[in-house]
């Protein structure tokens, strides 16, 4: 299900650096948190996360810009950036990872599957990108593909 080799590398590197990560999720609904928490010794590098599924929770807990979030249904690079920095601040971690987007093709996404994700270190954006998937992908498979792509990108960054 999760890319365990990437998780193992992330774990080893973060423990070696004595650094911690926290996650802010929307579209993946906790799968990224579950992936990181599945590692042996997760307590040594993973502080936790938040699944902020609607705009009110993103504004309240992660300090995203409500007006900008409303303009794009929170599926934007800016929202992902704000979520990543917000979760870093919320959990007091070195690293923040966020993802927001769509796991099902709906009118709001123009019937496309995509998600924006950001990896930041403190208030510095290290990666901010968009993942596009086939619109016929099943929701759970889309969520897992997003998670595994982020794990691979975080592993490469470290």
Cβ contact 74:86 at 8 Å: no
* Pair of tokens at residue 135: 């619109």
pLDDT of the residue at 112: 96
pLDDT of the residue at 43: 97
Domain ranges of the chain: 4-157
Per-residue pLDDT tens for 107-149?
Answer: 999 999 999 999 999 989 999 999 999 999 999 999 999 999 9
Residues in the chain: 158
* The domain defined by 4-157 carries CATH number 3.90.950.20: yes
Distance of CA 48 to the CA centre of its chain: 12
Nearest-angstrom CA–CA distance, 118 and 146: 12
Where the chain has pLDDT below 70, the residues are none
């Amino acid at each position: 299900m999760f890319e365990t080799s990437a998780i193992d590398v992330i774990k080893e590197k973060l423990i070696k650096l004595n650094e911690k990560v926290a996650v802010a999720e929307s579209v993946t609904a906790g799968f990224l948190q579950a992936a990181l928490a599945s590692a042996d010794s997760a307590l040594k590098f993973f502080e936790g996360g938040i699944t902020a599924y609607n705009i009110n929770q993103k504004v309240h807990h992660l300090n995203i810009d409500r007006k900008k979030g409303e303009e794009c249904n929170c599926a934007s690079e800016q929202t992902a950036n704000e979520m990543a920095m917000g979760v870093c601040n919320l959990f007091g971690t070195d690293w923040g990872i966020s993802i927001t987007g769509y796991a099902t093709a709906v009118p709001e996404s123009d019937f496309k599957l995509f998600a924006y994700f950001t990896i930041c270190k403190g208030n510095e954006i290290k990666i901010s990108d968009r993942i596009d998937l086939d619109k016929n992908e099943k929701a759970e498979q889309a969520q897992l593909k997003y998670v595994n792509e982020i794990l691979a990108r975080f592993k490469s960054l470290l």
